Structure 1
Amino acid sequence: MRSEEVLQTVSVLCSAFLLANCDRPEKPLNLSCTALQEQTFISPTLSCEWVALRRQTTQVPTNYTLYVKIILSNETFNQTSDKIKNEAQVTMGTFHNHSPLDIWVEVRNKLGRIESAHLRGDSNAFVKTNPPSHVNAISEKAFPYSLLINWVRPIHRLYLELVYQIRFSPRSTDLWTYVPRDDTSINIESFRLQNLQPDTEYVIQVRCKYYKENQGHWSNWSANATQRTPENRPASKPDVWVNVTESAKGRDLQFACKDPVLANGRIRWINMRVGSRGSNGSMQWESFSFNRSEEEITVLHKVFLPLHKSLIVYFTAVNSVGESPEASLVVSARAHESVQELQVHPVEGKLSVEWKPPNSTNVSEYVLEWSSATGMDWQRVSRTTRSAVIKGNLQPFVCYKVSIYPLYSGRIGQAASTDAYVEQGAPLEAPDVSLLGYPGRNEATLVWDQVPISSRRGFITHYRLFYGPPVTEVMLPANSTSYTLKSLMPNTKYEVWIQASTIAGSKNSSKIFFSTQKYAPGQIESIAVGISVCFLFGILFLMLICFCKKDKLKQKFWPQIPDPGESTIRSWSPDYNLKAELPKESCLSGISVLEVDTSRCVSEEDKSSPSMKKDKFLSEEHSSGIGGSSCMSSPRHSVSDSDESADMADSTAGTVQYSSVVASAGYKGQTPHPQPQAPASFSRSESTQPLLDSEENQDSDRAPRSVLQSSEEEEEEEEQTGSYMPQRGGYRPQ
């Protein structure tokens, strides 16, 4: 008996201990119910869900039961939920439209029970219909700012009265615009959207719910309805800009244009009017039209503006409906003040630009321009702004020229510019090195071009020039384009390359080879000139010596020989009368031999002298030899001892006569002692031909050797003994 009591007591204590660790159930929260539409009616199944505050335990299970009560018929439907899910569904026979319902959840466990808050309301307040169908947007040309929307309601209004919500968005964005609730009325099936942008494609969606405020559930959004609004004339000015390039003669102005922000259609072309003041002071206008480019920016006319000239340009954009308002740019003869302290910094793939405004307070706005090798773009900045981030799609490793222009009521101010990179990298190539001219003996000049901007991928910080052997490095500034290698070895082969560097890396060029000269330029010429000068001075020195010593040289190499043509023999006067003393001639075979008494001729020399002067014994063509022989010839006269000989000479005027006298003894006064003399002989030839040199030589050779030798010896004795005066017929002692 006691054992049973003990067991009961233990069981009660265990249950109490278990219950002590559990809580009483709490009221569920956020009870909501929904009746969905099936085809054209409302489903009889009511789905509800709630939030449970206590979790389920295996020791003390908790049950949730959903109750639905139709108040008018007092019918109640319930359904116990799954122990894991906090939801349940109650199926009624039919859905009672326009009937009040009472819905609650009961929570029960071993420690107690509790009910949730009751939902009481019209059954239609729990309905969620299908979305509207056949949503359609209609574009009307007369209404470029609106679209007419039509749709079909999901359920008949006898079952449910509906209100609608409409939203729309340009197709290019995901930003939805909702039509205000007050702008729509109950049970409508069309609506006109207002204040849209012309020539813009819109996406429209519609949904609906039970018309009473804060009752019913919104349906899902309908399928998209897409439509483009009609075009209208542009409502804003085109965005125009000019790229200015300075030169010595003036400025090159390249104009460009973007579509107006409110283009209200597809821009077909751009009209441009350029005005400048002529020489007479009046404005002269030129008009241009340009088709719109397929790109975002349309490049327009390029104008050259001379120095000290100004220009005003008007632009309009034209679409299929009309023309936009005019935009203007004024390029002044003298640019206005620029901004100060322009700085550009890369920030997370963008370029941040900072500046200080000019001192002038008349700035209306700023234009931030950036350009690269592929194109140009710009954006406008408020006059109160001191910094901006470039909004364009900037590429890494591309050099951008960033410029900021202040605008003074449309007049362009002076630009402030700088270069910038979003991100820098190692150069793609290094410059090619080449020789300037020919290398010298100890030096060579190298030249190269700057790395192309498209290949730099960053700012070039410096160049390194390598040459060898031995390899030597020279660091050069980034703006250098030439360098002269010095102190090179003559007649040596060198290799050279250059390295271009940025903050992100370096790149080497290809190698070139050259050899230095064995001799310095002009060295060989200098040697040749030196030798030539020395040779010239030697020649001049020899010529000077020859000039100074000309007399000795003349006596040494060109001794003076008497000129027979200047001989005074024809002016000699013989000491005896030749005509009286000439012996009688005897002819033998055309040759006459005369026997002359030498002693007689010599003794009577002085006596016959006057008669020789009167008688022309010798002519200008005579010849005579000294040293024991004398030869005389005359074309007209011959020596004769009678008048008959003279007559014979006259009769034979055409005959050339030769005569020679050979004396066996010396001339008068030449011998110191009288010696026996052999009789002299006189020979004459009556040949009509002059003797040749060879014949004369032969005749002289045929002369008796003893006679010639004796004559030469006598001449030598005469030179040694004394000087003689030349006379006709011989020498006389002085």
Structure 2
Amino acid sequence: MISSWVPVIVMLGIFVNGARSENVTRPCATLQTSSSVVPIGSPVTATCVISEDCPLAVGQAVHTEWRLGDRLVPSSPVANTSGRVSEAVIPSFNHSRAFLTCSIQGSPPQVVAGVEIRAGYPPEAPQNLSCQTNLTTPKRLTCSWDAGQRETHLLTKYTLHTQIRYSKKNYTYQMPPGVCSFSIPRLDFGLFSEMIIYVRAVNDLGEATSSPITLEPISAAKFDPPEIVKIEVPRKYGCLTLRWCLSRHQAWMSNQRMNIEVRLKTADSNEWSEAIPVNNIKPSRPVDQCRLLHWTRYFAQIRVRFQQSPWSEWSSSQSGVTLESAPTGHLDSWMKVSQDDVTKQLNIHLFWKASKQFRANSQSVSYMVSALKEGKGKVCSTRENNCTFQLPRRAKKVYLTAVNSVGKSSPTEVRILHHKDREAVSHLKAVPRDNSSFLVEWEGAVTPDLVDYVAEWRPLLETGLSHIRFDTAEKNRSSLVLTGSFEPDKPYGISVYPRFKDGIGLPQTVNAYLRQKAPSMVPEMKIKKTWKSQVELTWGEIPLAERNGIIQSYKIFYWNEKGPINIVNVDPAERKVVLQNLKPLSRYEVFMMVSTFGGSKNGTTTDFKTEPFDAVAIFMILTGIGVTLSLLVIFVFLKCLSKHKRLKRRLWPSVPDPANSSIKRWTSESTQDTYLGCDSEEPNLVYLSHLSFLDLPMKLSKEEDLWSNNAEDTSDLGESICGSPFIPGYSGSNSDSVPYATVIFSGPCSSPSPKKPHVYLRSESTQPLLEREESFSPKCYQNMVTDEVSREQCFFGPSHNCGPGEETGPDILWDDFPFLRALAMNDIQND
């Protein structure tokens, strides 16, 4: 806002300078206000009077314009002044400061007068006036106060006023702006002279004065911390004597009565006791502190003040030990009992600790366990807080006693309780409460015979009974705070047992960490199996000392050369994982991240390569092949069953029975049954393709007839050809060996064209023909010319089967009758 008024101020300066250059003795206009400093929110009235000889208003009508900063302010002319007097009223002035200007309208308007108006609040009375004397060099009295909560927006001046009684000396000290404290020089006050002190605040809207205070400067002095010279042990149990003095700089006050406070703490405690006041005591007099524990080391501190002066800081600590006395109170105990089958006795592990009422009253305490209350039958004596011993099975209780050099405590009775299969604790959990304790919570089943709960804990990385600690909770409680020297990042086993009147129930156990961090190591992964699209990874368990917390998860990160990173979460209880949906014959990289509540740690990266086939794929392929072959074998077997006759004749061709051989039967009857068509059930014609004779085993003379009755190697022509004239005496019944011919047939199945020349094969068999009793009579050779036409032709002359009137047809062609041709050829050779 101030910057917006810079042009106005410049214009006012130019106007004034211009008036001076024209030797104008009076300003062009005057501006009067009700007040230049007003309370915020109050009305402001201003009047602007333009002079008659103002050059800006000569010979023209005057119109006045008002502005408060950049904002126009309504105005009204005053009556009977010819418009040269104007008045403006601001109903509520809400600025801390602003310029009000009066201008003559024109192009542009000309400022002829202006005034700065400031607004604010009157000062508040200063509060919380206090003074403190510094007794160190240089000695001074420092007073301070609060200026008040409300901002005045105006320059406020503070002055400190002092008045020394009985001397009529008054002093006033002016404060710099914004300063609310002042140190009075040592010459302006006396340490033991009473003074009246107050503060006054003044600004343009008013003034205010604080409430006065009356004090002696010595009563406002903060002393240096005193010193404990020595702690003595009087001849009284539970008492210590403190000898003290003031600091070296305040030693001149040793004859004055002072007020002090004492605080104490034991050597094993971290908290100080409440301050114990001791009033009106001279520094030369010692202070006794009683009702302390016997034979206990205490640390003590004191602080001092004079009358109502501020307390000094606490002194440094000094320690002392009270007198020794016999232990008092009873001990809390915890027992574990098991039976020894070899010795038939009870194995007992007894633990104890000081109860709230127990006092050792000595720095050196030992403990004794006995079978009898009077201390007889001692079974154990130790300085530790646990003991292991054996008792007969009939033992019911033992007695625990604390002993020192002065005496011994009353024996504490400990009942021997056996473990029972009873449950009374569930949903146990243990969480850190702070940096040195656990909060243990559980759900208990309250029964009439339940006595209390016992919480037992021990560091899992330590062995031995000396590390076991315990605490007890009443039967109606379900939580307990365990305190002790717990270490961070170390595992602790915490168990809660229900203790009944007749035994110890089953416990609930959890592992807990006071603070967790990332594991110290990550197990090495090993590749157990590799398949086409899967790989099985295994790893070992992290040692308990390296976990640093409760394992929350194992995360497996793996990727191939071109693929994205894949993540698999593994349950903390598992030690293996199968990575699936991998690409065959691909190289992958993999590493593991192990996490606890306190952090995570990554392991080293390893790689593996998938196989082209996996066991599943090979199994499926072999299974498919086996099923296919089985179906094929079954199909072939069934096919063979349906075609067994045809298959048999395909694999083992039918060999004619020489004893029943007949050309007619071959061509007409038997061959039709033997060789069927390939694609139809209709019988096909069988064509005699060749006839051959067996060679004689020895060369016969030309005179000997080849077809004589005594020939040893002959063919079966007598059976195959009807009416053969070449063997007139052949009967077929009394011959030892008969030569026979092998006939090879070719049908339409093997040769699509029946016009192909016939082939005759010669038989190598010398099997004798079977003898037959009936005589053979020549039969007619039937030649089937076509399927529609059948003609019977008789060869070698008339026959009884041939009709006398039948025509014989054309001349015989030897090529059409290979059988006759072979006979003819044989005949020619014999000639």
TM-score by length of 1: 0.50
**Larger relative contact order (Cα-Cα within 8 Å, sequence gap ≥ 6):** 1
TM-score after normalising by structure 2: 0.45
